[in-house]
Chain A
Amino acid sequence: MRKSIVFTIVTGVNILLLALLAVHAHFSRISAASERLERAELVRTLQLTDLCLFTEARYTRHPAMSDRFAPFQDHPGAMEHFPSGSLVTPPIKRIHEHSP
């Protein structure tokens, strides 16, 4: 078989796989919708503000509730040493934005 045809088939199969994954994504979103509703319900009843992604420190467990300087609260010279600390951003600057 010609090499160009082999390549076209391989690429076609790859694109088809990608399309199938898109279909998979679509249907798993639909099937996961009820579970997501349950999660949202739990957030509502427990009045949660954050995802439970990193349980290492207060400012990574509840990033939305912490300050910019939260990592340094325990010790002024505290070095960032949690891997997750480099994945969460400092909270969005507040207070000044609340002035009307």
Chain B
Amino acid sequence: MSTPLNRHSNILDFALSSLLRRKSKNFSLLVVYTLIVFVIASLIFFVQALKREAAQILKEAPDMVVQRMVAGRHDLIPVAYGEQISAIRGVTAVSPRLWGYYYDQVFGANYTLLVPEKNLLEPGSIMIGPGVARNQRIQAGDMLALKTSRNIPLLLTVQDLYPSSSELISSDLIVLSAEDFQTMFNLPAGQVTDLAVTVANPREQVTVAAKIAELFPDTRPILKSEMLRTYDSLFEWRGGMIVVVLAVAVLSFIIFAWDKATGLSAEERKEIGILKSIGWETSDVLLLKFWEGIVVSLTAFLVGVVLAYGHVFFFSAALFEHALKGWSVIYPQFKLTPVIDVYQLTVLFFLTVLPYTAATIIPAWLSATVPPDAAMRS
């Protein structure tokens, strides 16, 4: 039986034999290529999962945050502003937010101190995030000593820890009562960090923001949609390290392609001549090269993607940890919920498999047009 399927599997057989001839070269090629796909796919998985997570949980963020700017810096905002803002049509509620940063000199870490909207905590007791607990080596029931702005130690009892599943948002939090916050930072009376504004109708948010900016030219309203967009553009390809990773990947691919395109050795050329002389058509030779390219690139793509999934979702992107951690002392240990972005994987597929296969075929195509009697006359 003569079938196209037979032709493909026969030529695939020969393509594999042909690749196995230069076993170590092709194998190392496959390994490096898999590694490139692995790094890029890990990045895609990680970033997509993080963006999805941010988009879903930050839906619950305040509709709008109004900051006051003084001399170009974020400054405290008078609570009185809130009263006028709540009079604007469309504003449902305005609630002052109290939060700030605290640098612990002993442990070298930055914490975020935050007062919840409703008084959940008695003065003297706090809730802490898992990162703080790790950093301070404390548990629920232990005491935590913070230094106030007047350099007086303030002893606080850890009432509870936030669950480790919430680490992505709560890792460095110390949630405390408004009284303790005041003791810590000694804010001027009637001033808070910023204002959270609730606007029931999402379509009115922009109008309300414009009115606030008009009413108080020294303020800056930040819409929830802007917070969400900030996270949507996180890890954008222009980000320094992302560019480095992508540049390395692209460069190594160019080296491959260059090696392929220029590396059609005299021997390979002679082989193509032999194949032509014994009755292979140009299209058969190209099919052979096509399969040689597919075998390497498809395997690299599939193995790279599978490994990347394992790396990001089973091992919490352990290889990226150092880049993400940077110089921070508190590093959230979060497990990402898997997201497979079919579109991005398809793009990755076309960016890896197609150029490589093309780089394999094109130089062969140039020499596959040799007349079949060339091998005979040489």
Contact = CB atoms under 8 A, between A and B. Distances in A.
Q: Do A and B come from one complex?
A: yes
Interface of A: 2-7, 10-11, 14-15, 17-18, 21-22, 24-25, 28-29, 32, 35-36, 38-58, 61-67, 69, 73, 80-89, 91-92, 94-95, 97-100
Interface in B271-327: 295, 298-299, 302-303, 305-306, 309, 313, 323-327
Given A14-B303, A36-B337, A46-B175, A4 B12 contact: yes
B302 A94 contact: no
Nearest to A70: B74
Interface residues of B, number: 95
Interface string B222-240: 1100110111011110111
A56 B175 CA distance: 19
B324 A53 contact: yes
A53 B305 CA distance: 25
Nearest to B213: A98
Given A40-B57, A89-B239, A91-B230, A55 B110 contact: yes
Nearest to B303: A14
A80 to B, nearest CB: 8
Contacts, number: 235
Interface SS, A side: helix
Interface of B: 9-10, 12-13, 16-17, 20, 50, 53-54, 56-62, 65, 67, 72-74, 95, 97, 101, 109-110, 112, 114, 116-118, 120, 129, 131, 162-163, 165-173, 175, 194, 196, 206-207, 209-210, 213, 220-223, 226-227, 229-231, 233-236, 238-242, 295, 298-299, 302-303, 305-306, 309, 313, 323-332, 337-340
A100 B239 contact: no
